[in-house]
Chain A
Amino acid sequence: MPSPELPIPSVRGGAPVGAPSKITQGSRARGGVGESTLRPDGILKVTGEFAYSSDLWHEDMLWGQILRSTVAHAEIVSIDTSQALATAGVYAVMTYDDLPTGVRNYGLEIRDTPVLAHGKVRHHGEPVAIVAADHPETARRAAARIKVEYRELPVITDEASATAPDAILVHEGRDDHHCGHVPHPNIVHRQPIVRGDVARARRRADVIVEGEYTFGMQDQAFLGPESGLAVPEEDGGVHLYIATQWLHSDLRQIAPVLGLPEDKVRMTLSGVGGAFGGREDLSMQIHACLLALRTGKPVKMVYNRFESFFGHVHRHPAKLHYEHGATKDGKLTHMKCRIVLDGGAYASASPAVVGNASSLSVGPYAVDDVDIEAIALYTNNPPCGAMRGFGAVQACFAYEAQMDKLAKRLGMDPVEFRQRNAMEQGTLMPTGQPVDSPAPVAELLRRVKAMPMPPERQWESSEGPDVRQLPGGLSNTTHGEGVVRGVGYAVGIKNVGFSEGFDDYSTARVRMEVINGEPVATVHTAMAEVGQGGVTVHAQIARTELGVTQVTIRPADTRVGSAGSTSASRQTYVTGGAVKNSCELVREKVLEIGRRKFGSCHPAWATAGLLLEGGKVVTEGGEVLGDLADVLEEEVVEVEEEWRHRPTEAFDLRTGQGNGHVQYSFAAHRAVVEVDTELGLVKVVELACAQDVGKALNPLSVLGQIQGGTTQGLGMAVMEEIVVDPRTAKVRNPSFTDYLIPTILDTPTIPVDVLELADPHAPYGLRGIGEAPTLSSTPAVLAAIRDATGLELDRTPVRPEHLTGTA
């Protein structure tokens, strides 16, 4: 973990690559910024006592159930709800025709997703009808009695079928803001980026490597399935208790469908069991509200695990074609790539994922001449959207494979090759945007390489082989036979915050008052705590900025302004920034009150730079001017303010040029794997990570984010994939029996080296950290498996049949 006396790192004895930030106000606050204060929800979650949204309960509540399509692409010939309605205990059955207003679609950016299917279903598991009943089993059975007659259509499943001359349009009559610049209506969005002169740069290349890479469909696999409770209110409105990532984005999509003004749809965040992007889109929110308003009763909805696989978007699967050139001395000459993302049946976050995939497709490297194209398709596959890493993950898998290929062709060490091409502060992105804060890419690689290697043959013991240390684990497939060790490296770049000109603000209401003689701060935001530890950080910021011990964090709801989404690694930066900003304004007001009351008593009141420390007003020199209790007495100071990071610009639709990103986050991994080369089974022995976090507001949470992201990337490397049948576009493994995520035995030792180089533009110099470790983990594991097996491995996740020639 970071120590307070961090040496300022430099690369190869050159100039420093950055420096840690300094904090003056509240630097002595206990439980303030930089401390590993414990999360309030931690113990409850470990002991199973935490109340998730699926635990919500209301007297007289009904249970809602969705009927989903059993086919991927079909016209709906008829829907017969009569038997469902006739079922005892059923209060309501609703289809598209029962929707109360003309607004019948929703969507994050493009409103292309029907609340309930109308005339057509476009993917397996699309909601067709909803039922409310007095018992969940009754609701399920009634839904099963709804008769839907489908006339099946051919399925569109890939680029070839989507752009064929006679391809059926997944969406007829598009009028969204991307439809004008896409080459085909089955392409959601296309972003080219052209910079320099690739044809000329290509001639300088001594080696050129090409690769065609395939990235599978990953699921967020959050543990708490989609759930919530809608309670009708006396004024005709509704109160929705919900697990989501962004209350106000939900609100903007829900209210018009219900035909209610936004102030009549009240939303309170309920216990969220993980998100990872999968709760950016709506799931059961509108359905529960519709049923509650229709029946006049509270309606609870909870997906089971099977339904959850159909209830949220997944990570875009991708095909990536890359070409890189390099000179003999190991300098990249150019890069050409084409990234095809499968967005599935509805747009969700596809346009922004395209923006990320294209603008981050070069990786953390300096390349002047690039020719990039990224597109997202409309198909009849499951809809894909936000997931941790958001477009940067797929690209990182491909460009890091390319880096290893180039190093091999040049006979260079793969880390050395990467360091020679690593971007640094001042490097231009392919979009022309300069990187204007520390970018210690080479230093992260150096650190991760310098970590001690895990010992060889750790399975050997005096009592025979410890199979838990071997590929196959407890399944007892090897006692060391066929096992080969491999080592691989990868590094990645992720943008932080919402990009491309989005007005990415947050709001914080901070209040300060004296209760029982003690100064107390209250922080109220609409930030969705999804497990990232944001509420802990807010309390730390308030302690640091206001010099108080007691901080109350109010539950997140829509009675305060929007906090933006808990995604894009942005909440500590943006809502943390908003809390810091509102605290600073409160501090100024408190000092004004003090000056007004006591300014005449002591000349120091008139000086600038007064601090709040330990419940007192002090000078920079540490002289106490007065107790906050005496300054405030009965007065209450409250501020609600929006806060924004630096604005960004859209990318030019032809050239991709533009200052599109706010900040970047960098992590590097070294993977050590042991592969049973005969059975194709993999044990990841260690995944060492070095990451620059700018400033660790809560070092323990930082460690948790890095270890969690690393493990999610490991899952993508060796096991996690939603398998869709290419003939039917139906999901084949919607369960945790067949969609595997790493168990603790699959999770390796994860030594973490945290670097804290301040970004001068960000609060406390911090960097958003949640996503970067997910990027480089996957390609590092793949590189290590390639090292062990000598195989090319151009797809992830890698399965035993790929390692044994038995696919």
Chain B
Amino acid sequence: MDFLRPASWEEALAAKAEHPTAVPIAGGTDVMVEINFDHRRPEYLLDLNRIVDLYEWETGAESVRLGASVPYTKIMENLRAELPGLALASHTVASPQIRNRGGVGGNLGTASPAGDAHPALLAAGAEVEVESAARGTRLIPVDEFYTGVKRNALRPDELIRAVHVKKADGPQQFSKVGTRNAMVIAVCAFGLALHPATRTVRTGIGSAAPTPVRAGAAEDFLNAALEEGGFWDTGKIITPSVAKRFADLCSAACNPIDDVRGTANYRRHAVGVMARRTLTWTWESYRGARPAPEGAA
């Protein structure tokens, strides 16, 4: 196994172009586990740790450009206001030691359906900034990024540089079911974001289908129901039947398997419960935070 240590992003892209089988490694929290278990033996490891840009983030007007290697701890500590869903998800990643090393770039590169960042990215709305020496930069909408179990839309000569996550324009929530109260891999997970600016709700489901997915039909149903009922304007409590229908549609968006971590039935069921609860929590926040009627402070 050769260990490539580019000093700059350009060198990294050149190395990836020259050795398309090279496996990029940053925090190593996924790659090293695979190597230690002998699940993979890449010809080349491409170490990105010297590329300091990958550890930076910039907050723009619309979105946060989050470097691929920004560790989860930094997201929790610094981006709670801008990216509340991702910050919550980050807090559920493994242990403090792993959160100090791992970042969203690794979650996207591995593209495991159980990656904790995915539901939050799907719900918030995000684009993955990837680059190759030959063709330069392209932005891939996160909805199109996951192409199969542990497969993504990256081409062999491309590297993930950053992810552009929409700044929250409303409340966001993230829930994850594991059979232990901390440091647990997801049995299933759910992210939900209210976007009052566009009067839409977005979702993300983890570990309940071959890839992370949005619950499209559930979103469409809820968006229509909220619009028709004038909920965005009045901020009134969401009718239980609407919440239930939304939850059922989220369950229906799952395509889970039975495995050692849980049954398919349980995953469908739990996603529904999390969908209903996260909708309730975010909507309560939205109602509380809405501009008060004229005259009030």
Contacts and interface: CB of A to CB of B under 8 A. Distances in A.
B185 A140 contact: no
Interface string A472-490: 1111111101100000000
Interface string B156-198: 0000000000000000011111111111110100000000000
30 contacts: A306-B37, A468-B181, A471-B181, A472-B181, A473-B182, A475-B92, A475-B176, A475-B177, A475-B178, A475-B181, A476-B91, A476-B173, A679-B273, A679-B274, A681-B181, A683-B181, A723-B260, A732-B260, A733-B260, A738-B185, A738-B261, A740-B179, A745-B181, A745-B182, A746-B180, A800-B262, A800-B266, A800-B270, A804-B266, A804-B269
Interface in A295-343: 304, 306
Contact of B88 (A306, A476, A482, A807): A476
A806 interface: yes
Nearest to A798: B179
B265 interface: yes
Contacts of B91: 474, 476
Interface string A776-807: 00000000000000000000000111001011
B180 A719 contact: yes
A673 interface: no
Interface in B229-279: 260-263, 265-266, 268-270, 273-274, 277
Interface in B191-210: none
A680 interface: yes
Contacts of B270: 679, 800, 804
Nearest to B182: A745
B180 A476 contact: no
A718 interface: yes
Contacts of A474: 91-92, 181-182
Given A472-B181, A477-B177, A737-B185, A801 B92 contact: no
B177 A679 contact: yes
A728 to B, nearest CB: 13
A799 B179 contact: yes
A740 B266 contact: no
B254 to A, nearest CB: 12
Given A681-B177, A800-B270, A806-B269, A475 B184 contact: yes
A136 B114 CA distance: 32
A800 B187 contact: yes
B221 interface: no
Interface of A: 140, 144, 304, 306, 468, 471-479, 481-482, 678-681, 683, 718-719, 723, 732-733, 735, 737-738, 740, 742-746, 799-801, 804, 806-807
Nearest to A304: B36
A807 B277 contact: no
B180 A742 contact: yes
B38 interface: yes
Contacts of A144: 38
B281 interface: yes
A807 B262 CA distance: 8
Contact of A475 (B175, B268, B280): B175
B175 A477 contact: yes
Contacts, number: 102
A733 B179 CA distance: 14
A38 to B, nearest CB: 28
A683 to B, nearest CB: 6
Interface residues of B, number: 34
Contacts of B184: 475, 740
A163 to B, nearest CB: 28
A144 B38 CA distance: 11
B176 A477 contact: yes
Nearest to B259: A732
Contacts of A719: 179-180
A799 B178 CA distance: 10
Nearest to B270: A679
B242 to A, nearest CB: 17
A678 B262 contact: no
Contacts of A804: 266, 269-270
B180 A740 contact: yes
Given A306-B37, A476-B174, A478-B277, A801 B182 contact: no
B175 A476 contact: yes
Contacts of B273: 477, 482, 678-679
B179 A800 contact: yes
Given A678-B273, A740-B184, 9 more contacts: A304-B36, A472-B177, A474-B182, A476-B174, A478-B277, A738-B261, A740-B179, A804-B269, A806-B266
Interface string B14-37: 000000000000000000000011
Contacts of B265: 801, 806-807
A801 B262 contact: yes
Contacts of A800: 177, 179, 187, 262, 266, 270
A518 to B, nearest CB: 46
B181 A801 contact: no
Most interface-central of B177, B266, B269 (chain A CB within 10 A): B266
B181 A746 contact: yes
Nearest to A802: B266
Most interface-central of A477, A482, A679, A743 (chain B CB within 10 A): A477
Contacts of B187: 800
B4 to A, nearest CB: 20
Interface in B278-294: 280-281
A144 B184 CA distance: 31
Nearest to A684: B181
Interface in B99-146: none
A475 B175 CA distance: 6
Of all A-B residue pairs in the complex, the 4 with the closest CB atoms, nearest first, are: A473-B181, A806-B265, A806-B266, A475-B176
A140 B92 contact: no
Given A474-B91, A474-B92, A477-B176, A680 B181 contact: no
A745 B260 CA distance: 23
A614 B288 CA distance: 72
Contacts of A723: 260
B206 to A, nearest CB: 11
Nearest to B186: A475
A286 to B, nearest CB: 25
A678 B270 CA distance: 8
A473 B177 CA distance: 10
A776 B228 CA distance: 56
Given A474-B181, A476-B88, A477-B274, A801 B261 contact: no
A146 to B, nearest CB: 15
A477 B273 CA distance: 9
A683 B268 CA distance: 22
B238 to A, nearest CB: 14
A732 B259 CA distance: 9
B263 A807 contact: yes
Contacts of A304: 36
Contacts of A799: 179, 262
A304 to B, nearest CB: 7
B92 A806 contact: no
Nearest to B267: A806
B182 A743 contact: yes
Contact of B179 (A476, A718, A732): A718
Contacts of A801: 262-263, 265-266
A737 B180 CA distance: 11
Interface in B51-103: 88, 91-92
A128 to B, nearest CB: 17
B94 to A, nearest CB: 10
A251 to B, nearest CB: 33
Nearest to B281: A479
Contacts of B269: 804, 806
Contacts of A735: 37
Contacts of A472: 175, 177-178, 181
A737 B30 CA distance: 12
A260 to B, nearest CB: 35
A472 B186 CA distance: 11
Most interface-central of A306, A478, A733, A800 (chain B CB within 10 A): A800
